[in-house]
Amino acid sequence: MKKKTCSWLDSNIRGGIQILNNKIYPCCGPSKPFYDSEDLDYSALSIEELMEKRRKLQQQINEGTACQNCEQIVEKEEEDINVGPITYLSIGLFSTCNLRCRYCYFTHDELSQKLKPERTHLLPFIKRLTEHGVMKKDFSIGLAGGEPTLFEDLPETLKFISDNYEKPGMVLLSNSSITSKTKKIIDVLKDTNERFDKGLYTSIDAGTRATYKLLRGRDLYREVKNNIINYAKNDTFNRITLKYILMFDHSNTSNKDIFGFLSFFKEVMKYQKGIMAMTIDCDMLSKEPFDDKMIAAAGKLYYVATEIFGIEVAFCGGGLVNSTTVGKERIKLLQEYARNYKTARKPLIERFYLLLLGYSSTLNNINRLFKLYKRTIRLIKILYFQ
Ligand code: SF4
Ligand code: SF4
């Protein structure tokens, strides 16, 4: 018999939980939180109760008393539904951050909040979930904030996950601007389980120091660049995604910023052994039209990423998402711009930038091929001669 389930509740689909400050939600959708209390103590939370709340919500969805009309509801055979172990855990226990981005959805008061000791320790909560056996062996964790590197026990937590799970995944949504913290992450992730899939997601949004300072509130462009290059040089993450959020007041849509960012991206690519990806987005708090300057800036980013770097571009997050009608229309416009841009006669300065990016990208690829060739030869030697 078919029954309703929700992708966020069903362990065979997303099977997640979202934690934001003092609230625990069943999903990142419009649902009511399971818990909402200033004094929520994650290290003392009843895990049985939390899991029971998930099962109860599933029952209410079928009774028609919760989440009606949510697009995440699907129908499945009853025996294929499993509101059981957690597949994805999204964690943001505080809003505190060292930056002050103009597009941030936290207020300055929230960003400046003093960190409470019980909110800066993640390990006790992860240990409790592990002791209760409620996380899948290949579960993924999304670490956000505020700024998640401010978790005091982040390195120990990552080590614990690596040691106790067979094939875990992790995405760190960090601004990568705190050098002392990035060094600790490099140290711990160097020696983790080989099957640990580790991703970094950092928004850059500028191609110059001045624009970075204007948009993010602090002059840390150089630090961010060095930190991410260090991550790449130390093979810290399997995947690095750099994001560009376009601002509707055109403060970061100039060629200087767009090509400056692309050159930053290319630098990281030079050292990153794993995957590199780009996310193009626009400020979701603004209601202004996605005008020609926005389309041109997004189109150039898309063109260079897909045609010159040959990498994947994801649209997720704010005003450029595949899941809304407005987002889909904007993506269509920027992709059309990129198609025309490919064959259009470009201003001399843009041709110069593109030539430089193309040249170094080709060198990168040759270098990668050479490394691959050396690795293959080494493997053949091991197989046949040792
Ligand atoms: S049905 Fe929708 S609102 Fe309800 S828990 Fe699932 S994703 Fe959230
Ligand atoms: S880095 Fe993130 S949390 Fe910090 S101010 Fe910027 S948008 Fe907000």
pLDDT of the residue at 51: 94
Nearest C-alpha to atom 2 of ligand 1 is from which residue? 70
Predicted model pTM = 0.90
* Ligand approaching nearest to the C-alpha of 13: 1
The rounded percent of the chain whose pLDDT value lies above 90 is 70
Domain layout of the chain by residue ranges: 1-84
Q: Is the pLDDT of residue 275 over 90?
A: yes
pLDDT for 331-344, tens place per residue? 999 999 999 999 88
**Whether residue 98 has its Cβ less than 6 Å from ligand 2:** no
**Whether residue 201 has its Cβ less than 6 Å from ligand 2:** no
Question: Closest Cα to residue 125, out of 143, 112, 107, 111?
Answer: 143
How confident is residue 378, by pLDDT bands cut at 50, 70 and 90? Answer: confident
For the CA of 217, the closest atom of ligand 2 is 5
Q: Is the pLDDT of residue 160 over 70?
A: yes
Ligand 1 centroid, distance to 8 Cα (angstroms): 7
Q: Is the pLDDT of residue 369 over 80?
A: no
For residue 266, how far is the Cα from the chain centroid? Answer: 19
Higher pLDDT, residue 302 or 358: 302
Nearest C-alpha to atom 8 of ligand 2 is from which residue? 104
pLDDT for 81-128, tens place per residue? 999 999 999 998 889 999 999 999 899 999 999 988 888 899 999 999
pLDDT for 45-90, tens place per residue? 899 999 999 999 999 999 999 998 888 898 999 999 999 999 999 9
For residue 343, what are the β-bridge partners?
none
**Whether residue 13 has its Cβ less than 6 Å from ligand 1:** no
Tell me the average pLDDT of the chain.
91
Ligand 1 centroid, distance to 284 Cα (angstroms): 22
How confident is residue 386, by pLDDT bands cut at 50, 70 and 90? Answer: low
Mutate to test the pocket of ligand 2, among 21, 95, 96, 111 (most ligand atoms within 8 A of CB): 111
* Ligand approaching nearest to the C-alpha of 202: 2
pLDDT for 288-323, tens place per residue? 889 999 999 999 999 999 999 999 899 987 889 887
pLDDT for 182-221, tens place per residue? 999 999 998 888 899 999 999 999 999 999 999 999 999 9
Mutate to test the pocket of ligand 2, among 20, 91, 94, 104 (most ligand atoms within 8 A of CB): 104
Ligand 2 centroid, distance to 28 Cα (angstroms): 18
Return the residue matching tokens 């930038």: 353
Ligand 2 centroid, distance to 81 Cα (angstroms): 37
